[in-house]
Amino acid sequence: MPRYALKIEYNGAPYSGWQRQKEETTVQGTIEAALAKLEPRTHQIAAAGRTDAGVHALGQVAHADMDQDWTPFRLSEALNYHLSPAPIAITGCAQVADDWHARFGALERRYLFRLLSRRAPAVHDKGLVWQVKNKLDINAMRQGAAQLIGKHDFTTFRSTICQAESPVKTLDEITITEHEVAAGMEYRFQLRARSFLHNQVRSIVGTLERVGAGSWTPEDVTKALAARARAACGPVCPPQGLYLESVLYPENPFV
């Protein structure tokens, strides 16, 4: 059975997350249903990351095993036809080795979080950003973020239902930039690591927003991390500003 890597973009708003569920509409289930239109049988695809309900993707990666030999172009075109009008698109497709794995072969994942600061309601970006009303102190947020770089026990910043065996993760990068937009400012948080805990990114961004708003100091982030207790975390921000931006592999299958 030839195996194909798929690069996937989606708006997560209509979905109960990535992972297939019997009675819920999910991204995985929708793509598998489209695959069944091409080869009528049960399909099971595996992804680099299981995004939560409402979370988006710019560069999710999954793999699928097919019965027929498809050219990557024909497979992606056929899938996009059967996915329409769902807000899911196959933006890349490549045939890969039979043992290539979208999840276990990944070297790192990059997430983007978009936070809009303005008093007027978001119109064009509604459902695509987390909106707060007041401007944030980007330097304070950067100072707080610096406390989280490296290898740490991230118990404070993971969901109580996280299924990871260990809370210890290495966070390689948090970059925060600000961009002027109409009547406000957009802050973009980019986080990079080999893997993340459940709700880790949203917990970190929610905490850093409190630093930017002046409710926390950068030193409070250090104390929260050291507490290794979920109760020490700041508010968990909503999912709509979060995007799985890209996944890195030893060799880019889509080149």
Q: Which residues are catalytic?
A: 52
Name, in order, each residue with C-beta under 8 angstroms of 104's C-beta and a sequence gap of 6 or more: none
Distance CA 42, CA 219 (A): 52
Q: What are the distances in angstroms from CA 92 to CA 6, 13, 52, 63?
A: 6, 22, 22, 11
The per-residue DSSP string of 111-127 comes to: EEEEEEE-SSPPSTTTT
Distance CA 208, CA 145 (A): 7
Angle at 86 between CA 81 and CA 87, to 5 degrees: 110
| CA distance from start to end of the chain | 22
- What is the three-class DSSP state of 188? strand
Asked if 206 and 191 touch (Cβ cutoff 8 Å), the reply is: no
